[in-house]
C-alpha cells in the first residue's frame, strides 16, 4: 500500500507538472498573439485600401474586454486622424501604391477639422498623379466631404447620398423633472452657458439660440466652401434647399439623384467598383474572386511607414474627449492620467511641447490638474503650443491657457468660457411619498447638503458663490494668457461658443493651421532646423494588445461600423438619441462637481464608458446621494 501511495503521488506530481507546463505554454502563446504587430511584409503593389468602418477620432479609446463581452456588441471602429494623414502622405510618394481606395460603406464621420485634414492629404495623393476612388452604399455629410476630394466617387445603385448640415434638436427635461417633482438646482455663470438648460427649461433660450445659430451658420458656410472647392460640379443648392423635390424629381431613386446633382460620378455595386480598381492597380493574386484587386490595408502600411525618431524631440500630448477626474482614457481626458504623462516627460529633454486639444471640456479640477502640469513644462523655458481640433471649448480652452501660441481651423469650435454645476434634490418627491425631514441644526450648514430634505438658503448661496469664483478664475487665466483685461474676456465669455474664424478675430486664437503648422512653429521657436527634430507622442499610442482586441472582437471588418442605407442611418440616429438621454441623466444624477463643459458643441459620439470620481465640496452631494 505504501508503494502504491508513492506511485500515486508521483503520477499526481507529473500531472500537476504537465498542467503547469501547458498553462505556461498557453499564456506564452497568448502573449505572443497579443503582442503581434501588423507585418510590413503584407505591403504589396496595388492600392492603399482605407476601409473606414467606424469613426475618425483624435485618439483611440482603450477597449475593456469585459465590458464588450457583457454588452454583447462589437467595439466601434476608430481611426486616428493623424494616422490616416500620415498613411496618405506616404502613399503619395511610394511607387508601390498606384491608387488610394476609400470604402465608406460603414463610415460614421469624425468632424469637419479632421475631414479637412484628410481631404488635403487626398489632394496631395492626386497631385502625385495617383487616382483616389471612393465607394459607399450611402454618403452622409462627413463622407461627402471626404469623397469630394476623390477622382472617382461611386455609389451603390441601391444607395444614395443625403446632406443634413450641422445642427438639430436636443432634449429638454424641465417639464419632466417638474412632473417628477425633482428640483434641478442650477448654479452657473454665463448668459450663454446653455449646458444647464435641458434641466431647467423645456426649450432653448433666446440667448442660446442666437449663439448656436451663428455658430452652426459659420460651420455650414465652411463646409459648403470646402466641398465646392474640392468638387465644383456639385449642385449644393439643389440638394440642400429643396431636398424633397430633388428626390421626387428622380422618382425616389437616391442614387440617380446623387448622380444628377454631381455628388457621385458612377453607379455600381461593390463587384463593379472592384473591377474598376483592378483596371488601375491590377488583380489580387491572393484572392482571385470577382471584384478583388491588389491592395495593402492600413495597419501593415503604417507598420511599414513608422515615424522617424532622429534628432531632438518635440512632445505632443493629446487631450481628447470629455475632461474627467481620475485616470480615464485614452479617448477620454482623465486629468490625473494626462498630468502623469506630462510629469513623466519632464526628464525627457523635450525641446517644445504641443498640446493637441479636441475636447468640449468637463471637470474644473481635472482641467486645472492638466493646466498645472503643462505649466511645469513651461517653467523649463520651452515653447508651449496648442493645436485645436474639432472642439476646444470650455475646459478645452481652460487647458489651452498656458500656450505661447494657439492654432485652430476656421471650423474649430472654441470659447464657451463659463462654468456651471447641477445638483438634484428630491424634497418635493419625498413629501408626496409622505417622507419629510426635520431635526436640530447648530449652524445653517448642519446636515447639509441634504438631497432629500433640500438645501438651506445658505448652501445655495455658498454653491453659487463658489461657481462665481470659479468663473473669475477662468476669465483671469484667459486674460493673462491672451493679454486682455478680465472685462474684455468677460465680454467674449459668458459661456458663448465661437467658430475658429471669429475666435481668431476676437483674440482667443492666434493663427490658422493644424498640428503640422503647430509643430513647425514650435520647432522654429526652439531653434531646431528642418529634419533635426521628431515628434514624440506622450503615451497616446494604443498598445498591440488593444489593437488585437479590436481585430478579434470586430471580426474581419476590424469593427462594427455605423453605416448602411438611408434607413440604417435613421436607426443610428435613434440609437444616438437613446445614448443622449442616458448621458443627460448620468450628468444630472452623478453630480460631477463644477463643470467647464460645452454641451451643445458638436462632438463625435460617445465611444467608451467614462470612469470619473468628482472632487471638491460640490461632489459631497454625489457621495451622499450614492450612499
Spot the catalytic one: 60, 188, 193, 615: 193
| Helices (H), ranges, 483-532 | 486-492, 500-505, 515-525
Cβ atoms within 10 Å, residue 343: 13
Task: Give the alpha-carbon dihedral of 288, 289, 291, 295, to 10 degrees.
Answer: -40
pLDDT confidence of residue 88: 97
The 8 Å CB, 24+ separation contacts for 35-41 are 35/544, 35/545, 36/544, 36/548, 37/303, 37/544, 38/299, 38/300, 38/302, 38/303, 38/547, 39/300, 39/303, 40/300, 40/303, 40/304, 41/300
Integer angstrom CA distances of residue 416 from 261, 360, 412: 38, 9, 12
Bridge partners (DSSP) listed for residue 422: 186
Note the pLDDT tens digit of each residue in 13-48. 676 666 666 656 655 554 444 444 555 557 889 999
pLDDT confidence of residue 460: 86
The grid cell for 39 is: 507585418
Residues 534 and 309: their CA atoms lie apart, in Å, by 6
193 part of the active site: yes
The grid cell for 210 is: 442666437
Angle between helices 2-34 and 544-554 (to 10 degrees): 90
Specify the range with the lowest mean pLDDT, choosing from 34-38, 115-119, 225-229, 411-415: 34-38
Angle between helices 335-344 and 364-378 (to 10 degrees): 10
Integer angstrom CA distances of residue 377 from 338, 339, 403: 13, 11, 11
Q: Give the three-state DSSP class for 421.
A: strand
Spot the catalytic one: 105, 218, 255, 394: 394
Q: Give the three-state DSSP class for 507.
A: coil
Q: What is 108-124 written as a DSSP string? A: EE--HHHHHHHHHHHHH
Hunting for cell 466617387 — which residue is that?
153
Note the pLDDT tens digit of each residue in 458-504. 888 888 898 999 999 999 999 999 999 999 999 999 989 999 999 99
Confidence of residue 625 (pLDDT cuts 50, 70, 90): very low
Confidence of residue 4 (pLDDT cuts 50, 70, 90): low
Residues 112 and 142: their CA atoms lie apart, in Å, by 7
More confident residue, 540 or 505: 505
Amino acid at each position: 500500500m505504501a508503494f502504491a501511495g508513492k506511485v500515486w503521488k508521483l503520477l499526481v506530481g507529473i500531472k500537476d507538472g504537465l498542467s503547469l507546463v501547458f498553462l505556461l505554454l498557453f499564456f506564452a502563446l497568448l502573449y505572443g498573439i497579443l503582442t503581434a504587430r501588423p507585418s510590413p511584409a503584407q505591403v504589396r503593389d496595388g492600392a492603399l485600401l482605407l476601409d473606414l468602418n467606424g469613426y475618425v477620432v483624435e485618439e483611440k479609446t482603450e477597449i475593456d474586454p469585459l465590458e464588450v463581452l457583457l454588452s454583447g456588441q462589437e467595439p466601434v471602429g476608430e481611426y486616428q486622424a493623424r494616422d490616416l494623414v500620415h498613411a496618405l502622405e506616404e502613399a503619395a510618394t511610394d511607387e508601390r501604391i498606384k491608387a488610394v481606395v476609400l470604402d465608406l460603406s460603414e463610415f460614421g464621420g469624425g468632424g469637419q477639422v479632421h475631414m479637412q485634414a484628410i481631404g488635403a492629404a487626398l489632394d496631395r495623393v492626386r497631385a502625385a498623379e495617383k487616382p483616389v476612388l471612393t465607394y459607399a452604399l450611402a454618403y452622409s455629410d462627413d463622407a461627402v466631404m471626404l469623397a469630394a476630394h476623390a477622382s472617382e466617387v461611386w455609389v451603390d445603385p441601391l444607395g444614395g447620398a443625403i446632406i443634413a448640415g450641422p445642427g438639430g434638436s436636443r432634449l429638454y427635461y424641465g417639464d419632466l423633472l417638474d412632473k417628477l417633482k425633482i428640483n434641478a438646482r442650477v448654479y452657473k455663470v454665463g448668459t450663454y452657458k446653455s449646458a444647464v438648460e435641458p434641466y431647467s427649461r423645456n426649450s432653448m433660450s433666446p440667448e442660446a439660440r442666437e449663439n448656436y445659430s451663428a455658430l452652426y451658420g459659420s460651420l455650414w458656410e465652411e463646409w459648403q466652401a470646402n466641398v465646392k472647392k474640392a468638387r465644383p460640379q456639385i449642385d449644393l443648392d439643389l440638394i440642400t434647399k429643396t431636398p424633397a423635390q430633388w428626390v421626387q424629381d428622380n422618382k425616389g431613386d437616391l442614387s440617380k439623384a446623387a448622380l444628377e446633382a454631381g455628388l457621385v460620378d458612377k453607379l455600381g455595386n461593390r463587384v463593379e467598383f472592384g473591377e474598376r480598381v483592378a483596371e488601375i492597380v491590377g488583380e489580387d493574386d491572393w484572392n482571385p474572386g470577382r471584384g478583388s484587386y491588389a491592395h495593402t490595408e492600413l495597419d501593415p502600411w503604417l507598420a511599414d511607414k513608422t515615424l522617424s525618431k532622429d534628432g531632438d524631440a518635440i512632445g505632443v500630448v493629446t487631450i481628447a474627449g470629455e475632461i474627467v477626474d481620475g485616470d480615464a482614457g485614452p479617448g477620454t481626458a482623465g486629468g490625473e492620467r494626462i498630468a502623469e504623462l506630462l510629469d513623466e516627460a519632464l526628464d525627457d529633454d523635450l525641446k517644445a511641447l504641443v498640446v493637441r486639444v479636441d475636447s468640449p471640456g468637463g471637470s474644473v479640477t481635472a482641467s486645472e490638474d492638466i493646466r498645472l502640469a503643462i505649466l511645469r513644462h513651461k517653467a523649463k523655458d520651452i515653447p508651449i503650443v496648442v493645436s485645436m481640433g474639432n472642439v476646444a471649448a470650455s475646459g478645452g480652452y481652460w487647458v489651452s491657457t498656458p500656450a505661447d501660441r494657439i492654432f485652430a481651423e476656421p471650423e474649430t469650435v472654441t470659447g464657451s468660457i463659463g462654468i456651471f454645476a447641477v445638483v438634484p434634490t428630491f424634497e418635493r418627491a419625498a413629501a408626496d411619498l409622505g417622507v419629510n425631514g426635520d431635526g436640530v441644526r447648530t449652524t445653517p450648514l448642519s446636515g447639509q447638503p441634504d438631497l432629500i430634505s433640500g438645501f438651506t438658503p445658505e448652501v445655495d448661496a455658498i454653491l453659487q458663490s463658489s461657481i462665481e469664483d470659479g468663473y473669475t478664475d477662468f476669465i483671469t487665466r484667459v486674460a493673462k494668457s491672451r493679454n486682455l483685461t478680465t472685462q474684455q474676456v468677460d465680454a467674449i465669455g459668458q459661456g458663448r461658443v465661437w467658430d475658429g474664424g471669429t475666435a481668431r478675430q476676437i483674440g482667443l486664437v492666434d493663427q490658422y493651421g493644424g498640428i503640422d503648422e503647430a509643430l513647425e512653429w514650435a520647432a522654429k521657436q526652439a531653434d531646431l532646423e528642418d529634419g533635426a527634430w521628431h515628434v514624440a507622442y506622450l503615451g497616446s499610442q494604443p498598445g498591440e494588445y488593444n489593437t488585437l482586441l479590436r481585430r478579434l472582437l470586430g471580426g474581419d471588418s476590424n469593427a462594427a461600423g455605423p453605416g448602411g442605407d438611408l434607413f440604417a442611418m435613421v436607426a443610428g440616429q435613434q440609437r444616438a438619441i437613446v445614448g443622449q438621454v442616458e448621458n443627460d441623466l448620468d450628468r444630472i444624477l452623478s453630480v460631477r462637481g463644477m463643470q467647464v463643459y460645452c454641451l451643445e458643441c458638436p462632438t463625435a459620439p460617445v465611444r467608451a464608458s467614462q470612469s470619473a470620481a468628482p472632487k471638491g465640496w460640490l461632489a459631497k452631494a454625489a457621495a451622499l446621494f450614492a450612499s
